[in-house]
Amino acid sequence: MKPAHKTPTKAQGIYRIEWPNGATTYKATAPWWIDADGKRHNPSKSFTRFSDARAWRAEQLANRAQGIKRPTGRVSLGEYLDEWIGTYSTRNPGNTAATYRRGIDKLKAQPIWKVKLGDVEAHDVARAYDAIDAKAIPYTHDALHRALEDAVPRLIGRNPARGATRGRTSARGERAVWDEGEYRSWLTTAAEDALWPLWRLLGQTGARRGELLGIDWPDIDLDAGTVTIRRQYTIVEGRATLKDVKTPRGRRTIDLDAETVAVLRAWRKDQPTRRLGRDAHAVFTYSDGARIGPTRTLNDRFQAVVAAAKVRRLTLHDVRHCHASLLLRRGVPVHVVSRRLGHANEAITLTTYAHVLPDQGRLAADVAGAIAEPVKLVPAEQGGQE
């Protein structure tokens, strides 16, 4: 028997099939996926009319884009998360994996843990956030969002955590920061501490603790007045480790003010002789030349300076948010602040610091009025005329 003749049509994924008996059909195939049991699915269907085949395929593509469920076997969200965090921790040992695991653990007692992966909706995620401690919401959301993003499109059509509200509080809610007076009081007191250059650079750049401790002298250009963040000195599996920053935007060059440059020049001149070895070029070192570590002792020393300054108690990391808030309130553009902080994009900065951005509505109206000033169509009122 003569075989059917199959030819592609002008539409992607649709073929015209001519059968030996003279009949013609159209076969449409939608994109494939793999379910939780590892089975590959290739949905396809035949039609007698090309228009029907095209409409069916368009419907399948729309379903996929909207996240309409596909087979996910018997796996629950909890089973998927357990497997995911195990794999992630193996490939990426360190603080991030540990934080993700803590976030995932918060979900184990919630009903969402037993929901099938393919049935999880945004409202399930929001309900889970409402049931956990508010302080845990940020890192729980980060972990869940990352894990579910890795399931797209292999197991699910879209990430339900992406459309979820973050429970009763914002995951990046308003943080306590100093006002300008408090910040200057803290700086004045910090200038009396032996680690004054570290505190000055912390306050004037908004860099993270680990990023500051990872700076070497070749990273600082005193003539240009810049510091380049390339590495971070952080705790990995209980040990202080020097490693590259995580993202391309995290690797950045930050402009320094003249006084901070002067402080660093004096520090370099007076810094004790450093021991030879891996810490020979470290900017912030102990008296024996070893690089200062990201320890609780350093945090305690920072708190001692805060207490002596008699300002509101913030954490060392809060100074980063203080730096961003003070700049934004002074009108520094969001994209500039975002680059100084090393955020992945400006949207993160806007979301985190929206509450400190000044109201620009009146300014916009005044600027628009100034632009249109030469054109006046409404005559001024003239007194005494009827």
Return the CATH number at 307. 1.10.443.10
Q: What angle do CA 189, 191, 194 make, to 5 degrees?
A: 110
Q: What is the mean pLDDT of each run of 10 residues along the chain (386 residues)?
A: 78 88 89 57 85 87 60 76 88 83 93 89 88 87 91 80 60 70 95 95 95 95 96 82 87 96 92 61 84 89 94 92 91 92 86 70 73 64 49
Query: Do 195 and 121 fall within a single domain?
Result: no
Q: In total, how many domains does the chain have? A: 3
Query: Do 103 and 164 fall within a single domain?
Result: yes
Q: Measured in whole angstroms, how far is the alpha carbon of residue 113 from the centre of its chain?
A: 24
Domain that holds residue 272: 180-356
Is 36:155 a contact under the CB 8 Å cutoff?
yes
Query: 3-class SS at 29?
Result: strand
Partnered with residue 6 across adjacent β-strands are: 17
Whole-number pLDDT of residue 275: 54
How far apart are the C-alpha atoms of 211 and 238, rounded to whole Å? 18
Query: Do 192 and 270 fall within a single domain?
Result: yes
Query: Do 55 and 20 fall within a single domain?
Result: yes
Whole-number pLDDT of residue 118: 82
In a domain, 367, yes or no: no
Query: Do 306 and 201 fall within a single domain?
Result: yes
Choose the final residue of a domain: 171, 198, 217.
171
Contacting residues for 139 by C-beta, under 8 A, at least 6 apart: 99, 100, 102, 103
Whole-number pLDDT of residue 171: 41
Q: Kindly report the backbone phi and psi dihedral angles of residue 291, in degrees, each rounded to the nearest multiple of 5, phi listed first.
A: -60, 135
In a domain, 346, yes or no: yes
Whole-number pLDDT of residue 192: 95
How far apart are the C-alpha atoms of 382 and 386, rounded to whole Å? 9
In a domain, 370, yes or no: no
In a domain, 369, yes or no: no
Burial class (CB in 10 A: 0-12, 13-18, 19+), 184: middle
Whole-number pLDDT of residue 386: 44
How far apart are the C-alpha atoms of 81 and 148, rounded to whole Å? 9
Query: Do 270 and 164 fall within a single domain?
Result: no
In a domain, 60, yes or no: yes
Is 45:28 a contact under the CB 8 Å cutoff?
yes
